[in-house]
Amino acid sequence: MPALTIQPPTLADIEALYAFELSNRSYFETWINARPADYYSLSGVAQAIESAQHDAAKDLAYQFLVRENGVLLARVNLTQVKRPHLQQAALGYRVGQEHQGRGVAKGAVRLALQQAFSELGLWRVEATSRPENPASVKVLLANGFTQFGHAKRCFQLGTCWYDLLHFEAHAEH
């Protein structure tokens, strides 16, 4: 597994994040809905970083850039933070197409869970995956997630509807 680091995005990351998103745009859009067209500019990425910083300051969501030797490989996010009684968040991640199959997703999720269950004090993290993405399911299971549901035709991508598998992981208390 690669030696990965995760850090919240800063304005110093604008050019690297812009290049990452632009070079992986078509690939990502086969799995998730497209970002607005104005995101794909330096100013759009700057606005997204500022929004991510605002969300983290308000304890709403936490975004991280995943790097190996300074190279941006992936993103991992903890969104939909719910406090005080649930102490949970939703996990999402995306790995650049050229970095697939090297353990990047597995390592990024591991690092995000460490953040979630230690520094952020969360008790539960949820994630979803489409059944057509067995690699993502494998990443979740390898990081201690268990499946707790299967929602039928609940996610629309373009004109198609897809099922989602629901997973959860808990802090060890």
* Residues 116-161: tens digit of each pLDDT: 999 999 999 999 999 999 999 999 999 999 999 999 999 999 999 9
Segment 106-120 mean pLDDT: 98
3-state secondary structure 77-131: EEEEEECCCCCEEEEEEEECHHHCCCCHHHHHHHHHHHHHHCCCCCCEEEEEECC
pTM tops 0.75, yes or no: yes
Name residues whose C-beta falls within 8 Å of residue 159's C-beta, 6 or more positions apart in sequence: none
Q: Which residues pair with 164 in a beta bridge?
A: 151
* Residues 73-102: tens digit of each pLDDT: 999 999 999 999 999 999 999 999 999 999
* Residues 29-53: tens digit of each pLDDT: 888 878 888 999 999 999 999 999 9
**Cβ(143)–Cβ(106) below 8 Å:** yes
